[in-house]
Amino acid sequence: MQLTSIRTDIQRKGLYIGQRQLFLDFALSNIDTVKTAQGAGTPPKDYAPEELLLAVKEELKHKPQLIVLGGGEPLLQIAELLPVLKEVPWPIPAGGGVPLCLETNATMPDRLAEIKPYVSLYALEYVADYQREFFDSLLLVKDAKVYVRAPVDKHTAPADIDRLAKMLGAVRKDLPLVLEPVFGSKNYLSLQALALRHLQSVRVIPPMHI
């Protein structure tokens, strides 16, 4: 598997911002999205399954609250990742360990279905150009612990956020939506108000840059 980093740090985006987490930053991505991970731009390194497990066990000494598969798009490397999850004693809650979170751009629902048995939390990023794939992905995990991230800027159309929130609310009214305004955006309050017409929990949380 190709990863840019394996590190313990605080979460810099989304619903659990500030939480101590262990990040496995995967190197490959299938679309261009805003990169906030520290590993962005770092040359990838190949990890054999045994190397990956050893590195994770070493990082667990730093007491993270969550293990995060993220970085690029982890599902691009599902063929290499699944054997690791299946064959090694991965530290998931069933084994008394740390829960596993998948950060995904929700563009590959077929691959998402393959990893479901191992994931405790899903962070789905909404990408407007992949609405059908996003909706199919959401339906796959709608009964799990899941939240949605939606980057917004001054060009974000209110109708787009209203449409997204209405779609999410039709699946689950209590599904958390995190609006992520970029620096300089002034429209986040009005976008939040629109989304709250359809959802019970809509938060405005800008990505942290430290």
| pLDDT, tens digit, 9 for 90 and up, residues 122-138 | 999 999 999 999 999 99
Q: Which residues of the chain have pLDDT under 50?
A: 34-39, 94
pLDDT value of residue 183: 79
Spell out the domain ranges in the chain: 2-149
H or E element, residue 63: none
Helix/strand number for the chain, H first, E second: 6, 9
pLDDT value of residue 6: 96
The burial of 37, by beta-carbon neighbours within 10 Å (0-12 exposed, 13-18 middle, 19 or more buried), is given as buried
The reported pTM is 0.91
pLDDT value of residue 36: 42
Expressed in angstroms, the distance from the first to the final Cα of the chain is 28
pLDDT value of residue 22: 96
DSSP E strands in the chain: the ranges are 2-10, 20-26, 45-46, 66-71, 100-104, 121-125, 145-152, 177-181, 202-204
CA distance 19 to 206: 15
The reply to whether CATH 3.20.20.70 applies to domain 2-149 is yes
